[in-house]
């Protein structure tokens, strides 16, 4: 699940970066965020390519978690600076939330079922405890 979603979100970040390159007209207005989107897309592809299915859960969620934190930091910095196009800022926020959700949902995962003790009526007659006389 983490591999496929990391790949899909990485492709989305590439499209966001391409849209940002076409949308930023001045040299200083948001170019830094566009290029960092490309870096985040590359890192997302690295996560998707290097993740082993049998890897421990903590290893599987560390990549998307770090990408989420990085995109949230970029979002906050862009809001503070204010020279980045609004659409680019909020799309970065959306991708940060998506990576965060991927991290949380992957961390939950499926837990193995525990073997339960058979109930009193499911036990064979020989294994039942003796009854007390009333």
CB 33 within 8 A of CB 78: yes
Task: Point out the residues of the chain with pLDDT beneath 50.
Answer: none
Angle of CA points 21, 25, 31, to nearest 5°: 50
Round to whole Å and give the CA distance between 4 and 24.
30
Record the pTM. 0.75
Helices 2-23 and 57-81 cross at an angle (nearest 10°) of 20
Residues 85-101: tens digit of each pLDDT: 889 999 999 999 999 99
Local structure of residue 83 (DSSP, 8 states): -
């Amino acid at each position: 699940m983490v591999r496929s979603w990391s790949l899909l979100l990485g492709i989305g970040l590439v499209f966001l970066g391409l849209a940002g390159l076409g949308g930023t007209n001045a040299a200083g207005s948001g170019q830094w965020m566009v290029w960092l989107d490309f870096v985040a897309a590359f890192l997302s592809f690295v996560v998707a390519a290097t993740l082993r299915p049998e890897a421990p859960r903590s290893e599987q969620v560390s990549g998307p978690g770090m990408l989420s934190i990085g995109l949230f930091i970029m979002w906050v910095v862009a809001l503070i600076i204010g020279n980045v196009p609004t659409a680019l800022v909020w799309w970065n926020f959306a991708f940060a939330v998506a990576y965060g959700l991927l991290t949380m949902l992957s961390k939950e995962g499926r837990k193995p079922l525990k073997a339960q003790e058979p109930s009193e009526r499911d036990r064979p007659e020989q294994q039942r405890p003796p009854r007390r006389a009333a």
